[in-house]
Amino acid sequence: MKIKHLILVAFILTLISCSKQNIRQASSTTNSNNVLVLKVDYNTNQFEGGKELTFTDTSSNMSITNQYVAPGDFGSIKLKYQELNEMLFDGTIVWAGLGQVNYPLNLLNANQFDRVMTKDYVTPVSGFENVFNPDNTVYNYNAIWNSVQGLVKVRQYLYSNPNATVKIFLYTPSVGVGNPADWDWFIFMKN
């Protein structure tokens, strides 16, 4: 009988230990530095997919710098998380052709993102920042935001970092005789 009690006590202590370990892992995940990348079609403003990037270094801020090479024939645009010197986006631009996204790859499809069940509408408190807009074109960011504001992930990011500015960028892989059907908005949110 003593052995059964000892086994039971050992089992309970193991469960408690595992639970504490899971709590520690969960809290370290919530303290990690993540950036949510969302892709929205330029013509239709339909959400097409996204990805969550995780970085080991942390920063309370997220500034995005760009490295732009104008397309004489071939060009490129790179966006970096300045505080961490980490890549957020890398794509080529082709004059009278079609460039491609090199990073991030393997975006999850839109149907892999859960949506909230409520009808409420949320907007970022600090608004939007276009991180690459060389012609200072005026855009309706709310139309773009409308397709993603109801995503559970977006709400989580807004909740964890309510005063953050939502970063936005129009990727035009085809220019000159470019086709807007090839263009996409990219949205970046820091947790």
Domain co-membership, 104 together with 167: yes
CA angle, residues 97, 44, 120, in degrees to nearest 5? 145
> How many structural domains comprise the chain?
2
Residue located via tokens 């892992």: 25
Domain co-membership, 43 together with 25: no
Domain co-membership, 39 together with 73: yes
31 — pLDDT class (breaks 50, 70, 90): low
Instruction: Identify how many contiguous H helices and E strands the chain contains and give both numbers.
Output: 3, 11
As a whole number, mean pLDDT of residues 103-119 equals: 97
Domain co-membership, 25 together with 113: no
- Check: CB of residue 71 under 8 Å from CB of residue 80: no
6 — pLDDT class (breaks 50, 70, 90): very low
In this predicted structure, the answer to whether residue 80 has a pLDDT above a threshold of 70 is yes
As a whole number, mean pLDDT of residues 88-100 equals: 95
Domain co-membership, 26 together with 53: no
Domain co-membership, 19 together with 94: no
d(CA 31, CA 163): 17
Q: What is the DSSP string of 162-174?
A: TTPPEEEEEE-SE
Domain co-membership, 4 together with 69: no
In this predicted structure, the answer to whether residue 65 has a pLDDT above a threshold of 80 is yes
What's the mean per-residue pLDDT of the chain? 87
In this predicted structure, the answer to whether residue 46 has a pLDDT above a threshold of 70 is yes
Selection from 95, 169, 98 nearest residue 132 by Cα: 169
First to last CA, the chain: 52
In this predicted structure, the answer to whether residue 63 has a pLDDT above a threshold of 60 is yes
- Structural Rg of the chain based on CA atoms: 21
- Domain limits for position 17: 1-31
In this predicted structure, the answer to whether residue 126 has a pLDDT above a threshold of 60 is yes
Domain co-membership, 99 together with 165: yes
Domain co-membership, 111 together with 165: yes
Domain co-membership, 164 together with 75: yes
Domain co-membership, 146 together with 114: yes
The amino acid that residue 84 corresponds to is: L
114 — pLDDT class (breaks 50, 70, 90): very high
In this predicted structure, the answer to whether residue 141 has a pLDDT above a threshold of 80 is yes
pLDDT given for residue 176 in this prediction: 83
SS (H, E, C) 104-124: CCCCEEHHHCCECCCCCCCCC
